[in-house]
Structure 1
Amino acid sequence: MKILGIFIDALNPGFINETDTPFLYRLSNRGENIVSLESVLGFSTTIGATIFTGTYPDRHGIWIEYYYNPNYSPYSKIPLIKLSKPIDYIPIQIIRSGINFLLSKYVYPYYAKKLGYSELAPYNIPYKIITYFDVVTFKHYTEPKAFPVPSLVDVLIENGVSFYYSTHISEATLKNALSSDVSIFYFSKADLVGHIFGVGSKQHRNTLREIDRKVEHLVNTYRRKFGNNFEVLVFSDHGMANVNKKISTISWVKDKELGKKYLIAIESTMMRFWYFDERYKEKIREKLNSLGYGHLLSTKEKKQLRIHFSDNKYGEDIFLVDQGYVLYPSFKSWSIPKAMHGYHPALKEQQAVLISPTISGITEASVVDIMPTILKLLDLEIPKTVEGQPLVG
């Protein structure tokens, strides 16, 4: 059995309709076979790991790229870090970001390769605290042995099933895909355009139409080659919602106590904290609880979201903003997005999607169900570590 997987970044069930995605709409039996998938809290790094292992972050161990590890930080081994500290004091944010962008693109890839990391870009992390952080040293989720638990790729290799992955369509990639047992094409443009122009914008809708045509081309190519003797699964990692208000984080970044009494890591939709002073911890918690645009995640909620780590390496406290707000500047953004993901995964706009003519009668599932569904279609044994359930058979 041939499997054609099509992974579309930032595709929400609400984006599928007869106007913007006519082929996907027909493929889903005019919307009848659309499965809304609850994603996980986080960004591409953790969701990709979750999809390809069928396990949640607290099981596969990957959450946010940067985590607290002062005993070993790769940045402490880079001489340029000390020389870069004056960048923190440049008063204009766009200039600071511009310098960091150039360093991230042209200088730090050398150090990443030298130190054995997939990436070491400093982005907008203040240089006065960067040596407190380590970076998740993970392989790409399509590489073997990328995680401490078996991945889809590991199971396929173990069973002698050929696998192919591509981010674009060409004569060469189609040839490789058609000759492989399982092929996955990944399209990221909807995520990028959504961030820049917003959900529902002319540019976003045009991008959805462009991707829809690519999906149609892939499926029709498989139909010409294999008839009906293949399975197609179109899936995504998360949805996206428009940003209505920017929250400045400059006061946090410029705080004189940062790096002395506490640490902070700022993502677009959350702030993570570590503390060196118990009294200051209470002061920060009081401040966070007084803000009207988010809330501190309790231990119970972190466990429910499957992002609770007993060593607190990803943060002792996590402040999650409400949907529609965005934190700027964040450690990994160069500009203010017009739409974001990474809000609470239970929200409708944050849901991912799964479409397959084979799957019917199911309207809700989880991103952890994608991997076991593929394995079930191939009649392969599902690893005991997998927490998702196959949606077929």
Structure 2
Amino acid sequence: MSVYTVFIDALKPSSLRHMDFLKTLSSCSIEPDLINFSNTCQASIYTGVYPNKHNHQFIWTLDPQNSPFELLDNRVADFSIRDKYTKFLVYNLLALKNLKTVPYGFLYFADKKPSYWANFSFEEVSHSGRPDHCLGGYPTVFELIHSAEMEYSVDWHVSDDLSDIEIQDTEEDFNYFYFGHVDPASHKHGQESDEAIEVMKQIDLILEQIYEQTSENDTFIVLSDHGHVHIENFINLADEFERNGENLNDYMHFVDSCYARFWPKSDVEKQRVTQVLESMEKGEIITTDLLRQFNSELNCDQDVILYYLSPPNVFDVVNPKTESMHGFDCRLPDSKGVFVTDDESLDAEEIQLQDFLPTVLNQMNISIPPHVDGENIL
């Protein structure tokens, strides 16, 4: 018996209607993590534990000791690297040298001094090459399968042309396929666009090919990490601070698409930042109680103010041509991910991301570790 799993980045439940093969199987929605960026959600999928344990909430964190831009922490860099073209070149060169990738974030860093960049480090869950075997100190599904002396295969497809993909026959104990195409198509055009629907239809044809490899005793699973929400307004946080007589750059902060984090150095700073954020009326400051409710407490040494921007708004660190975004309230229907299987025993209406790992282990007759937060659903 083998398990065949296909991961589709950012597919929401309502989009199954565009996938003629996939919609014939059993399915339910997945409630993503509260901060449902891909990094957070995929860490939860692979480890089976909540974000407050694997601690992969944001890809950029306040961590000067491990910053890929450590060399820029000086006045010479600030003086010599000032225009956006030079900043873009330096950002790409240092990112490629130290991270082996060029991550999301330049639109945020573009108007900051290079020495400010050196406050932040980057860590991303792998979606190419060798899969992560441990995240936040917890073994991933790949490591647990390996430790059980069973075999797995991984077939990553992040941005390659779908029409050129050839699925090879594979009969390992666990066969994992990753498709990252729906997410960028949704960002650029919206998930209900003709362009995104065409991408989903192409993936659906490939899924059918994969399913044809399975035998009667195998299990076939398709899942996504989150959905996509339509956006309309791009909010400049610096303007919001200026309207309140404050300078955003006076405060240590980082802005993601729909979240802004602040690390106040004093009670006075905390009060001033809080006053500005509460005056915006476009979102809310996320309380510790809400983070705790969703097992998403931020594990860091410093006090953090976390502000959430509600849809259809995003901060203008997002490409202005973007039509759709994720990361919003996990309770919104369009924020949900999807779980699909050929196993007709599925009777849940909604599951958690953390349920994937114990479900796979159960299908493979591998003991589920006691630290796992999810539950077997098949």
TM-score normalised to structure 2 length? 0.87
Equivalent position to 2:144, from 155, 160, 180: 155
Correspondence 1:369 to 2:355 = yes
In structure 2, do the counterparts of structure 1 residues 304 and 8 end up closer, same or farther at CA, with 3 Å as the change threshold? same
Residue 360 (structure 1) shift: 2.4
Residue 86 (structure 1) shift: 5.9
Take 1:258 and 1:324, find their aligned partners in 2: how far apart are those partners?
23
Residue 87 (structure 1) shift: 5.2
Take 2:75 and 2:68, find their aligned partners in 1: how far apart are those partners?
10
How many pairs were matched up?
363
Equivalent position to 1:39, from 23, 32, 54: 32
Correspondence 1:351 to 2:340 = no
Residue 306 (structure 1) shift: 2.2
In structure 2, do the counterparts of structure 1 residues 79 and 281 end up closer, same or farther at CA, with 3 Å as the change threshold? closer
Correspondence 1:387 to 2:370 = no
Residue 246 (structure 1) shift: 1.6
Q: Is the 8 A contact 2:238 2:248 kept in 1?
A: no
What is the identity, as a one-letter code, of the residue corresponding to 1:215? L
Counterpart for residue 225 of structure 2? 237
SS in 2 for 1:22: coil
- Structure 1 window deviating more from structure 2 (123-132 vs 192-201): it is 123-132
Take 1:42 and 1:212, find their aligned partners in 2: how far apart are those partners?
24
Counterpart for residue 291 of structure 2? 302
Residue 3 (structure 1) shift: 0.9
Correspondence 1:48 to 2:42 = yes
Deviations 1:321-364 (A, max 9, x none): 11221111x2xx44442100000111111011100121422111
Q: Is the 8 A contact 1:75 1:81 kept in 2?
A: no
- Structure 1 window deviating more from structure 2 (290-299 vs 120-129): it is 120-129
Counterpart for residue 110 of structure 1? 97
Correspondence 1:136 to 2:118 = no
What are the ranges of 5 or more consecutive residues in structure 1 without an aligned counterpart?
A: 91-95
Take 1:368 and 1:3, find their aligned partners in 2: how far apart are those partners?
17
Residue 103 (structure 1) shift: 4.0
Q: Is the 8 A contact 1:100 1:122 kept in 2?
A: no
Take 2:22 and 2:66, find their aligned partners in 1: how far apart are those partners?
47
Say what the alpha-carbon RMSD is for the aligned residues: 2.8
What is the identity, as a one-letter code, of the residue corresponding to 1:136? E
Take 1:67 and 1:268, find their aligned partners in 2: how far apart are those partners?
15
Counterpart for residue 196 of structure 1? 188
- Structure 1 window deviating more from structure 2 (294-303 vs 40-49): it is 40-49
Counterpart for residue 272 of structure 1? 261
Q: How does 1:208-223 map to 2 (within 5 A)?
A: 208-220=200-212, 222-223=213-214
Residue 149 (structure 1) shift: 1.0
State the identity %: 21
Counterpart for residue 15 of structure 1? 15
Correspondence 1:68 to 2:54 = no
Equivalent position to 1:184, from 173, 176, 184: 176
Deviations 1:167-212 (A, max 9, x none): 248787614xx13211111111110000001121111111111111
Counterpart for residue 291 of structure 1? 280
Counterpart for residue 340 of structure 1? 325
Q: Is the 8 A contact 1:10 1:190 kept in 2?
A: yes
Take 1:79 and 1:374, find their aligned partners in 2: how far apart are those partners?
46
In structure 2, do the counterparts of structure 1 residues 111 and 256 end up closer, same or farther at CA, with 3 Å as the change threshold? farther
Counterpart for residue 323 of structure 1? 311
Counterpart for residue 93 of structure 1? none
In structure 2, do the counterparts of structure 1 residues 76 and 252 end up closer, same or farther at CA, with 3 Å as the change threshold? farther
SS in 2 for 1:166: strand
What is the identity, as a one-letter code, of the residue corresponding to 1:9? D
In structure 2, do the counterparts of structure 1 residues 185 and 134 end up closer, same or farther at CA, with 3 Å as the change threshold? same
Take 2:241 and 2:115, find their aligned partners in 1: how far apart are those partners?
10
Q: Is the 8 A contact 2:77 2:115 kept in 1?
A: no
Deviations 1:77-111 (A, max 9, x none): 358995366655x4xxxxx3x65554444453113
